Amino acid sequence: MALRLGDIAPDFTAETTEGTINFHEWLGNSWGMIFSHPADFTPVCTTELGRTAQLKDEFEKRGVKVIAVSVDPLESHTEWVKDINETQNTTVDFPMIADKDRQVAELYDMIHPNASEKSTVRSVFVIGPDKKIKLTLTYPASTGRNFLEILRVIDSLQLTANYQVATPADWQQGEDVIVVPAVSTEDAIKKFPKGVTIVKPYLRTTPQPNK
């Protein structure tokens, strides 16, 4: 069964390039991102893992732990990391799950038989400190993911978790946000001292509260 937003992220124990982990214990009280790769030593995946490593400081700034998964064995991961570091001019220092029995891939519905019976699609799950799934993304195996977009969504998710706001289309850090409908205009004016603009009774904006 496909996982849905708000579901508890399935727990598991797995071998990784940084030793055996229990997923929920590894996450602790942090945000997390788990993302799958069709196979080791493939070109698009090489750029994706390299890009994630390059963005290490951005993920850390947001308190997000990153973990990758591929159905290839641990020895293959270890060798592949050398290639990633060399070709992408970076250092991969997050764990990669060796999912040769497809335990994690099956738990997270990462194998879509009509696309490929042997390898995972490019799935992304962002998980909150409450262990609930906050975001799911699925790309075809041929398309590299946009990790700046993933960071943008994490920013939005964390704003929503900490303040009663939502973000409009194409929102970027520092831009105005939307007051959620559950907050009355009267309460919004008290809650957001930077000001509330009433575009329509149901569409009210305020400057980003944490900037």
Calpha distance 64→98 (Å, rounded): 21
Classify 165 in phi/psi space as left (phi over 0), alpha (psi -120 to 50) or beta.
beta
Q: Which two tokens stand for residue 9?
A: 């992220």
The domain locations on the chain are 13-147, 163-206
Note whether 164 and 178 are within 8 A (CB).
no
| pLDDT tens, residue order, the chain (211 aa) | 588 999 999 999 999 999 999 999 999 999 999 999 888 899 999 999 999 999 999 999 999 999 999 988 999 999 999 999 999 999 999 999 998 888 898 899 887 554 444 455 689 999 999 999 999 998 887 899 999 999 999 999 999 999 999 999 999 999 999 999 999 999 999 999 999 999 999 999 999 999 8
Among 184, 194, 158, smallest CA distance to 173 is for 158
Q: Count the neighbouring beta carbons within 10 Å of the beta carbon of residue 169.
A: 4
- Looking at residue 43, its amino acid is P
Residues tagged active-site: 45
- Looking at residue 210, its amino acid is N
Determine the straight-line distance between the first and last CA of the chain, rounded to whole angstroms: 40
Note whether 64 and 32 are within 8 A (CB).
yes
Residues forming beta bridges with residue 34, ordered by sequence position: 67, 125
Identical fold at 13-147 and 163-206? no
Measured torsion, CA atoms of residues 50, 145, 207, 193, in degrees rounded to the nearest 10 = -70
CATH fourth-level superfamily of 163-206? Antioxidant, Horf6; Chain A, domain2 (3.30.1020.10)
Whole-prediction pTM? 0.91
pLDDT, tens digit (0-9, with 9 covering 90-100), for 97-136: 998 888 898 899 887 554 444 455 689 999 999 999 999 9
CATH fourth-level superfamily of 13-147? Glutaredoxin (3.40.30.10)
